[in-house]
């Protein structure tokens, strides 16, 4: 399945500055593998040492948070939009 992945500013160094890149995969884990193949180094920013989604990275397939779907097994239908959003913390 062909999908479009929206890349946050902090990860655009891996995509040559592109805000959105195409990727392939029927589920999220395959999409991340596709991203890594085309943009080496990006998977290490999204996945931890055990190959799971990093705690402070939110990923959405269309408008669905994958934490409440199937995680890395979440289905990514053809034409889906995937958003990678690093959590932002801070305050006074």
In a domain, 54, yes or no: yes
Number of structural domains in the chain = 1
- Domain range enclosing 37: 2-86
In a domain, 60, yes or no: yes
How far apart, in whole angstroms, are the C-alpha atoms of residue 4 and residue 91?
A: 33
- Position 11 scores a pLDDT of 95
- Position 91 scores a pLDDT of 58
- Position 1 scores a pLDDT of 80
In a domain, 91, yes or no: no
In a domain, 51, yes or no: yes
In a domain, 92, yes or no: no
Q: What is the pLDDT of residues 6-45, one digit of tens each?
A: 999 999 999 999 999 999 999 999 999 999 999 999 999 9
Q: Which residues pair with residue 4 across a beta bridge?
A: 22, 81
Q: What is the pLDDT of residues 56-83, one digit of tens each?
A: 999 999 999 999 999 999 999 999 999 9
In a domain, 21, yes or no: yes
Helices (H) then strands (E): counts for the chain: 2, 5
DSSP sequence for 17-55: T-SEEEEE-SBHHHHHHHHHHHSTTHHHHHB-TTSSBPT
In a domain, 61, yes or no: yes
Q: What is the pTM of this model?
A: 0.90
CATH number assigned to the domain comprising residue 58: 3.10.20.30
């Amino acid at each position: 399945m062909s999908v479009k992945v929206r890349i946050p500013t902090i990860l655009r160094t891996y995509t040559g500055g592109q805000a959105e890149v195409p990727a392939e995969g029927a589920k999220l884990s395959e999409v991340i593998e596709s991203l890594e193949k085309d943009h080496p180094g990006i998977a290490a920013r999204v996945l931890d040492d055990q190959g799971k989604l990093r705690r402070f990275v939110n990923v959405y397939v269309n408008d669905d948070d994958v934490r409440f779907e199937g995680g890395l097994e979440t289905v990514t239908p053809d034409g889906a939009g995937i958003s990678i959003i690093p959590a932002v913390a801070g305050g006074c």
